[in-house]
Amino acid sequence: ICAIFKDEAKYLDEWIRYHLVIGIDHFYLYNNNSDDEYLKVLKPYIEKKIVDLIDWPHKHSQMSAYEDCYKKNNNHTNWLAFIDLDEFICPIATDDIKPWLEQHNKYPGIAIYWKQFGSNGKINHDAEKLVIEQYTQCWPKNSTFTKMICNMNFPIIEFGIHSICH
């Protein structure tokens, strides 16, 4: 997974652990001028070579961070997802995303739909509970927007919020 973040240390550990459980094995995380304790959270993952941390001090540069990640790492991975730290990939038919991705090797990418989760009526986030435990109510329909998991055997021809693998 490639993601850019700013001041999201309190969510980083849960987000990484969740994605490790579903089969993601590496993260390219672009730090965009964070002032929180992100390094304390990420240090164990960096030491285990699960996370590559890239300082990315540029303003309004999410797409250029994604493009940088692709250009530097497209030969080091089979699949690369571009998502945000408030987004969780939720496989429906499997607990492990790797065999599922292998079934789609002949395709340049897989579009995954957004599910819009609300506040569950909460006014304040409970820091003692996981995000995925607190926010369980979502809009019943899939969004028309998608995020891409791109097959690195095919070039990415356009970078945008919803990248186009071709």
- What is residue 157's three-state secondary structure? strand
pLDDT tens by residue, 96-124: 999 999 999 999 999 888 777 777 777 88
Does the structure show a pLDDT above 80 at 67?
yes
CA distance linking residue 39 with residue 23, whole number of Å: 23
Residue 155 is predicted with a pLDDT of 87
Residue 2 has pLDDT above 70, yes or no: yes
Model pLDDT for residues 116-160, shown as the tens digit of each residue: 777 777 788 888 888 888 777 777 777 777 888 999 999 887 776
* DSSP H stretches of helix in 31-128: 38-47, 62-73, 97-102
Q: Which two tokens stand for residue 94?
A: 């499997």
